[in-house]
Structures are given as structure tokens and as C-alpha cells.
């Protein structure tokens, strides 16, 4: 699913260069259920952005389902991202003036899905995350847990194999957070590859593998006996 060879990522701010990833070697198989932990600033979000083709490595190789992202144009990269990856963020990133239905519909509009199919797919997705009754609600009319479920439905719209979540429970109480993790577990059981960045040991414990980052390197790749 994911194959990284000595991936580095350098950010340049003015004259200052900072290496956020310092040579990451990582393999993730199909249908894994993974958490990524590490101190703030250790490079977790940078790693996720590269995994999800939101950004490319400064050097090293990244293959997503066998495709070397370096060989792709910006348009091709966007296409790969839209078809293969679903994103879930801590702050939900929903459009505030759009309903749950409209938020989930957006990726399908971009993918050129016809109106009738769009409608069926959006209704199915919102039902899948338990929000059949909230299709007409806007984010301001929903709880944090409900907003995150809309975001998950949106992430699933184009049936991506890979779901990437950056602190998806970070803004939620423990009950709503637990419900979100249960949805991810269900998606994993349905065959998706799930990678969740988290600070929460209780979230990490529910995944099958925990990758630990430290200062832009992999402290523990989570294969073998992970020290919990």
C-alpha cells in the first residue's frame, strides 16, 4: 500500500531550513490498522501529508500502491489523491454554510458522478456513519462527534483504499471519540487501510500497530514487540 525509502522533507521559511523528516523508511501493507504517535513537532502531520499526496518528499522515494509519486504531474497527483486517499482532520474542515449532504457531495461533484448516483451515495454514506437524520443540518447545528462523522463520510465518498486521520478525536469528548474510533475499526474490517495520528494512548491501543516518531525519524515502526 505504502512504501517509503529514505524520505526527507525540508521546509524553508525565509532563510531558515528545517528538516521535518530525516530519512523515513516505512512499509504499510494493505488493510493495516495503524496509529502514529510522537511528540508535537516530531513530523507526524508532515508524514501524513506525504502519505496522502498532499505534499511530496524533498528527497527519497514514495510509492503509493506501487505508483512513484515523483513521476506524476500536479494534476496526476491530485487525481491519485482523490481516488486513493480519504482525509479526516482534527478540526473537521467542513464547509460551514453547507449541509451535511452538501459537504459529503463535494468530492463526488469533483469526480463527475451524476446527480442521481450522487444522491444515493451521499445518503448511504451518511446512513453508514449514523447520520441519516442529519442530512440537512449544517455544521453549526451538529455536535463535534457528528461533524467528524460527516467528515468521515466525505472521506469515503470516492471509495479510497487508504484513510488518513490527523488527530481525529483531538477535539472530541471521550464518548464521541470512542464512536469515531469504532467507525474506523468498522472501515478497517471492511478492507480499508487506516492510519490514525493520535496523542491518545487509548486510541493507539485499539489499533494493531503503533508507529512512533521522534525528531523526524522513526523511533519504532511498530512491527514486532511494540513497547506500550
Contact 59, 8 (CB under 8 A): yes
Q: How far is the CB of 43 from ligand ADP (least distance, A)?
A: 4
Please, which residue, 19 or 65, has the CB nearer to ligand ADP? Answer: 19
Task: Provide the minimum distance between the beta carbon of 111 and ligand ADP in the complex, in angstroms, as a whole number.
Answer: 28
Residue 134, binding choice from Mg ion, ligand ADP, none, Cβ under 5 to 8 Å by partner class: none
Binding partner of residue 40 among Mg ion, ligand ADP, none, CB cut-off 5 to 8 Å per kind: ligand ADP
Residue 131 or 196: the one with the smaller Cβ distance to ligand ADP is: 196
d(CA 153, CA 195): 16
For the bound state, the minimum distance from the C-beta of residue 40 to Mg ion, rounded and expressed in Å, comes to 7
CB atoms within 10 A of CB 126: 22
Interaction between residue 45 and Mg ion (CB under 5 A) = yes
CA distances from 33 to 67, 106, 127 (A): 21, 27, 23
Residue ranges in contact with ligand ADP by CB under 6 A: 11, 13, 18, 20, 38, 40-46
**Phi, psi at 175, each rounded to 5°:** -65, -50
In the complex, least distance from residue 148 CB atom to ligand ADP, rounded to whole angstroms: 18
Q: Is 169 in the site for Mg ion (CB under 5 A)?
A: no
Q: Please report whether residue 42 would count as binding Mg ion according to CB under 5 A.
A: no
**Sheet harboring 16-28: ordered strands across?**
16-28, 2-13, 59-64, 67-68
Asked if residues 100 and 45 have their Cβ atoms less than 8 Å apart, the reply is no
Amino acid at each position: 500500500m505504502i512504501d517509503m525509502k529514505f524520505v526527507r522533507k525540508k521546509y524553508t521559511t525565509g532563510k531558515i531550513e528545517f528538516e521535518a523528516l530525516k530519512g523515513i523508511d516505512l512499509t504499510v501493507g494493505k488493510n493495516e490498522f495503524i496509529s502514529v504517535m510522537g511528540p508535537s513537532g516530531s513530523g507526524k502531520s508532515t508524514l501524513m501529508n506525504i502519505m496522502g499526496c498532499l505534499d511530496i518528499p524533498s528527497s527519497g522515494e514514495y510509492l503509493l500502491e506501487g505508483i512513484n509519486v515523483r513521476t506524476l504531474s500536479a494534476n496526476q497527483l491530485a487525481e491519485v489523491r482523490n481516488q486513493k486517499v480519504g482525509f479526516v482532520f482534527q478540526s473537521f474542515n467542513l464547509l460551514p454554510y453547507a449541509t451535511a449532504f452538501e459537504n459529503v457531495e463535494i468530492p463526488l461533484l469533483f469526480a463527475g458522478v451524476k446527480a442521481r448516483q450522487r444522491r444515493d451515495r451521499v445518503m448511504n454514506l451518511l446512513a453508514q456513519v449514523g447520520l441519516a437524520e442529519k442530512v440537512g443540518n449544517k455544521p453549526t447545528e451538529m455536535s463535534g462527534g457528528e461533524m467528524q462523522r460527516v467528515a468521515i463520510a466525505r472521506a469515503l465518498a470516492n471509495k479510497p483504499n487508504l484513510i488518513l486521520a490527523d488527530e481525529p478525536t483531538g477535539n472530541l469528548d471521550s464518548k464521541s471519540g470512542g464512536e469515531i474510533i469504532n467507525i474506523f475499526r468498522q472501515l478497517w474490517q471492511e478492507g480499508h487501510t487506516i492510519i490514525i495520528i493520535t496523542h491518545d494512548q487509548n486510541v493507539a491501543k485499539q489499533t494493531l500497530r503503533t508507529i512512533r516518531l521522534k525528531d523526524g525519524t522513526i523511533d519504532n515502526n511498530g512491527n514486532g514487540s511494540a513497547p506500550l
